[in-house]
Structure 1
Amino acid sequence: MDDGLTPKGRATRARILAATAELVRRKGVTQTQLDDVRRAAGVSGSQLTHYFHDKRTLIDDVIAWQADAVANHEPALDSFAAWHRWADQIVARHTGRKFQGGCDFGSLAGQLVESSPRTRSHLADGYGRWLDRFRRDLAAMRDQALLRADADPDALAHTMLAAMQGGVLLAQTLRRPEPLRDSLDAALARLESYAR
């Protein structure tokens, strides 16, 4: 990645993005102020404005950063066992958070999807990248004959992501794991209905 930044500059920028993402998860976009970000990231005001011109630029870059995290760090989901591990990890992660804050990316989407066409486009791109990862792994399962030929990777990818996002929101609202576990189990059952 040639962004013109030194390794130290990249590290500082990543620290700002991580601090902003955590603040937004805990407090929401509107309650997160640039001074909060500066303090949380341990940077000066001039450093913050060097990397991000304004709050809108910062939030748009947090969206892209969260999308990168999803696209690049999701483990391979090319077996039934891998999908079950994925579901178990999601339940464990949100249980560990006591169901507060919701999905890092989904929370951004919920707060910002109607804020501007440009921001909605960034969010759609992030979800698109997540769905692409799922779609590729599901297509690999079909190619390996783990799934029947009539299994549709697009439909299954939508099912898995929607079950996770909706389940996380319900678990966050109700502060209990059952909605998340039940929605993921239903999605896994649909996936397994296509097993050869």
Structure 2
Amino acid sequence: MTTDDTTHDKRLTTRGARTRGRIVAVAADLMYIQGVEATTLDNVLVASGASKSQLYRHFSDKATLVRAVIDHVGDRIITRERETIGDVTTLGGLRNWADGLVKLNGLRHGAYGCALGSLAAEIADRDELAHATLLRLFTQWQTLIHEALVALQEAGELLPNVAVDQLATGLMAALQGGYLLAQTERDVEPMAISLDLALSHIEKLAAR
């Protein structure tokens, strides 16, 4: 969130904050399903039930709304990952984390891919502020994966000479590639295969 957005949020009334939150949540859902480009401000107005004056009170244009959506989606994903992979203490737990992501995506048959990855694909090269936020969020996500692997290594689950930074990069790449293939094929199976191969490699580096 930018400094200007933070200052603005502090001035919001409870009702205003609720309206803003509803607009952002609705916009995030629409952009996830039909893409950023295809989602218009009129779409957001209709789906959120907000008025034009309410929308423009909080967002000067679509780009500002998209940045708020990135913050919203990113915060949701990082919170989820912190609560799931953050509790991983065994290689089996790492499998359970990956299986959970596959099952969650399977509820949509892999149709929409990674919510954060989809935003990055559409926005990263067109908006430098959005790109900076996306980079920060993906870095946070990969850091959580890295910290889980470090915890496994410290617990004796992985060999002490394993380069966990490289494993974290590879696992993140397998996850995002799996999301993309699942979205393209509208089938979650490629995501399951991608993560299984990455985890199988990690398991071969087990200390026992």
Structure-2-length-normalised TM-score? 0.86
- Which segments of 5 or more consecutive residues in structure 1 lack a partner in the other structure? none
Deviation at 1:7, TM superposition (A): 4.1
Partner of 2:19: 12
Q: For 1:56 and 1:83, locate their aligned partners in 2 and report how far apart those are by CA, in whole Å.
A: 37
Q: For 1:188 and 1:146, locate their aligned partners in 2 and report how far apart those are by CA, in whole Å.
A: 13
Say which SS state the counterpart of residue 166 (structure 1) adopts.
helix
Task: Check whether the contact 2:109–2:188 (CA below 8 A) recurs between aligned residues.
Answer: no
**Once the two structures are superposed, what CA deviation does each residue of 1:96-129 show, in whole Å capped at 9, x if it has no partner?**
1122111111111111121133322221111111
1:181 aligns with 2:195: no
Task: Check whether the contact 1:63–1:126 (CA below 8 A) recurs between aligned residues.
Answer: no
Q: For 1:26 and 1:72, locate their aligned partners in 2 and report how far apart those are by CA, in whole Å.
A: 21
- Which segments of 5 or more consecutive residues in structure 2 lack a partner in the other structure? 1-5
Measured on the aligned residues, the alpha-carbon RMSD in Å equals: 1.9
Partner of 2:3: none
Deviation at 1:187, TM superposition (A): 1.1
> After TM superposition, where is structure 1 displaced by more than 6 Å over at least 4 residues in a row?
none
Distance of aligned partners of 1:153 and 1:15 in 2 relative to their CA distance in 1, 3 Å threshold: farther
Among residues 61, 70, 76, which one is paired with 1:63 in the alignment? 70
Q: For 1:7 and 1:72, locate their aligned partners in 2 and report how far apart those are by CA, in whole Å.
A: 23
Partner of 1:160: 171
Structure-1-length-normalised TM-score? 0.90
Partner of 1:79: 90
Partner of 1:143: 154
1:125 aligns with 2:128: no
Q: Which amino acid aligns with 2:151?
A: A
**Once the two structures are superposed, what CA deviation does each residue of 1:54-108 show, in whole Å capped at 9, x if it has no partner?**
1101111211222211222211233222221222122222221122111111111
Aligned residues: 196
Is the deviation greater in 179-188 or in 9-18? 9-18
Q: Which amino acid aligns with 2:75?
A: D
Deviation at 1:153, TM superposition (A): 2.7
